Amino acid sequence: MTQEKPLDFLLLGPAFPYRGGISTTQQALAESLMSHGYTVKLFTFTQLYPSFLFPGKTQFTTAATNPSLSIERKIHAYHPLQWKRVAKTINELAPKAVIFRYWTPFLAPCWNAIAKRLNSKIKNVGWVDNWKAHEPRPWDGFLTQRFEKSMDSFTTLSLAVATEIKAESTKKVWGKMHPIEDHLPKKIAQKEARKKLHFPEEKTALLFFGLIRPYKGLTLLLKALKQHPEKHLFIVGECYEKWEKYQQLIKDLKIEKQITTINRFVSQEEAAIYFSAVDATVLPYTSATQSGVLALSYYYETPLVVTNHPGLSQPITEDKTGVICPAKVVEIQKAITAVTETKANQEFRHNLNQTKQRYSWANYAQEWAKFVLMKQHNIKLICSDIDGTLLDKNRELSSKTKAVFGALKGNYPCVLISSRMPMSLRQLQAELGIHKDPIIAYNGSLILWEDQTLFSQEMPFTLLEKMMNYIEGTTIHLSLYHKDEWVVPANDYWAKREAHNTKVDPSIAPLDQTLANWKKREISAHKVMCMGEEEEIEVLYQQLQLHQNKINAYRSKSTYIEVSHIEQDKASALALLLKEKFPHIEMDHVVAFGDNYNDATLLKKVGVGVAVANAKEEILTKANEITKANIEDGVALFLEKELLK
């Protein structure tokens, strides 16, 4: 007799016969996980919303579903006496992880009651669509906080949602853009789609698709359309509020002939026709963290207009698949003009065709499962950036930070990794009591261990000469660094400021004299620091881009450019250090802390990449974890929680 394979995942949430995007994605994840060899079951609702709370016409679909999916209607969302029985059933199944789909605080009591009764060996994982409600009620925050406490970790369909959760929770969070369904009806030729809709080939058509709710911004779009009398708008989706107000607005704007309305839930086959027929999809949302409509537009290669919310704009920015604008009538009006211009529209369609494969459900499910089943941190080495990360607002080491590092000394190698020069890093090492550990200076261009140079990568000398020419006639200050040499042309404002920040004093000499001396000694710079007024720095930055195959030019501030060799960054330097001196430690066993763009690859490649709360937005989205800000001892608090308690 063959023994049944243990259950990997039990997904709780809408599934067949419930309709809508959440149900569709719930089943898409299950199918993708099964294709990777995981065992999956789905528990859906016997009752979800009371009829008086549901604004639509029906919660159910009559479309067929995948017969290979194991879907059982088990959960009554608002019947507390039934929740204990559901938990008992789950414990008997003993899945490795239970996935709680969370898009509304209404479900928090039900999910909390089930989660707290589950065996401690089962992971409770939130799969979150919305962390903050688009139309919030006074009690939403309290309910979401309760849900947060009952989960072990969180996954999302949006980096923006992941960032929101990380700002309020210390638990592990993973996020990626909403995947693109690959089992939908195929795209059809625009000419054929328009023929089915009895719509002329030569007219420009726009699409507003999905449920109509106040935050979806349809009012803004209608007002913008008034300025485009030659264009036509298809409004396709069920209205979850009073449709009469939109009818009145259309009448007042006198745009009745520019509008086609399908005020109902449409089938996938119908949706395919509309997306294939139009020139662009418009998402004029006043609030958003993700959108299934955006994923549908990618699938059908329909260029997009989206408002500038991170959950919508990030893929558009990266892939160049549409136009981003503020949620204002005049800006949406301009964006419609831009997205429908022939050459731009063709380019957006080409980019959609080239990039949509990266957002497949297969890729999403594989990474998602790896995160959900990931074991606890196995940290063997600590690595931290300095400015904006380890130091406080006075650029000092706090007493808390010193105490935590002191408690860890001897148990974990602690590597300071920074754009600073070695002398400055050694001073900090001495204060922390880790002076026998290695340091990585100049963003990875120099690795030292006590008096031994483990690695040194200098910039091409000819580039120093070019930089001298670039700054001629400007007020830009140039600092040259080689090992523990820091040379400035004058003890000006910028030199004094950097000396104050790093507690190291420079040598003063004319730049041409320094270069002549270095050329004679056959050395070059590990780093060049360019400091000056923002306008001049911007011009210099553009000039340095001509040499991007040889150097990394990194703007740590609007008035700073830090330049080093192209082949080195913090992540590659750390990997080299581990290979040479810590062969028993892999990158997966490193915890690294950072806050700025030059920390991005480091946080991504180590096992535990931690951003301080004051980090740049891009760094917050790439980190595995977010700790408190640098001025709140974020690094120390994380290490204390993970390694000392």
What is the DSSP annotation of 519-582? HHHT---SEEEEE--HHHHHHHHHHHGGGTTTEEEEEEETTEEEEEETT--HHHHHHHHHHHH-
What Rg do the C-alpha atoms of the chain give, in angstroms? 28
Average pLDDT over residues 502-508: 93
pLDDT of 586 strictly over 60: yes
- Write the pLDDT tens digit of every residue in 508-531: 999 999 999 999 999 999 999 999
Class of residue 98 by CB neighbours under 10 A (exposed 0-12, middle 13-18, buried 19+): buried
- Residues of the chain by 3-state class (helix, strand, coil), percent to 5: 45, 20, 35
pLDDT of 302 strictly over 70: yes
pLDDT band for position 415 (cuts 50, 70, 90): very high
Res 1: pLDDT: 37
The DSSP H or E segment spanning 225 is: helix 218-225
Share of the chain above pLDDT 70, in %: 97
The sheet that has 280-283: what strands, in order across it? 259-262, 231-236, 204-209, 280-283, 304-307, 322-325
Return d(Cα 365, Cα 520) in angstroms, integer.
Answer: 58
pLDDT of 561 strictly over 70: yes
pLDDT of 2 strictly over 50: no
Nearest to 116, CA basis, from 151, 75, 76: 151
Average pLDDT over residues 340-363: 91
Res 136: pLDDT: 83
pLDDT of 376 strictly over 70: no
- Write the pLDDT tens digit of every residue in 126-144: 999 999 887 788 999 999 9
| 316 token code pair | 């558009």
Share of the chain above pLDDT 90, in %: 74
Residues 6+ apart with CB under 8 A from 477: 488, 489, 490, 492, 493, 494, 495, 530, 531, 532
The whole-model pTM stands at 0.56
pLDDT band for position 56 (cuts 50, 70, 90): low
What's 379's DSSP letter? -
Class of residue 55 by CB neighbours under 10 A (exposed 0-12, middle 13-18, buried 19+): middle
pLDDT of 60 strictly over 70: no
Report the first-to-last Cα separation within the chain, whole angstroms.
Answer: 47
pLDDT of 645 strictly over 70: no
pLDDT of 210 strictly over 80: yes
- Write the pLDDT tens digit of every residue in 443-496: 999 999 988 999 999 999 999 999 999 999 999 999 999 999 999 999 999 999
pLDDT band for position 171 (cuts 50, 70, 90): confident
Q: Share the mean pLDDT of the chain.
A: 91
Res 59: pLDDT: 67
pLDDT band for position 70 (cuts 50, 70, 90): very high
- Write the pLDDT tens digit of every residue in 180-197: 887 889 999 999 999 999
What is the DSSP annotation of 138-197? TTHHHHHHHHHHH-SEEEES-HHHHHHHHTT--SEEEE-PPPBPSSSPPP--HHHHHHHH
Higher pLDDT, 149 or 568: 149
No. of H helices and E strands in the chain? 24, 27
> In Å, what is the CA distance from 34 to each residue of 7, 23, 307, 325, 635?
11, 17, 36, 39, 39
Average pLDDT over residues 608-633: 90
Res 58: pLDDT: 63
Least confident of 135-139, 413-417, 435-439: 135-139
Res 20: pLDDT: 81
Res 375: pLDDT: 64
pLDDT of 4 strictly over 80: no
pLDDT band for position 45 (cuts 50, 70, 90): very high
Judged by DSSP in three states, 342 sits in: helix
Average pLDDT over residues 419-440: 95
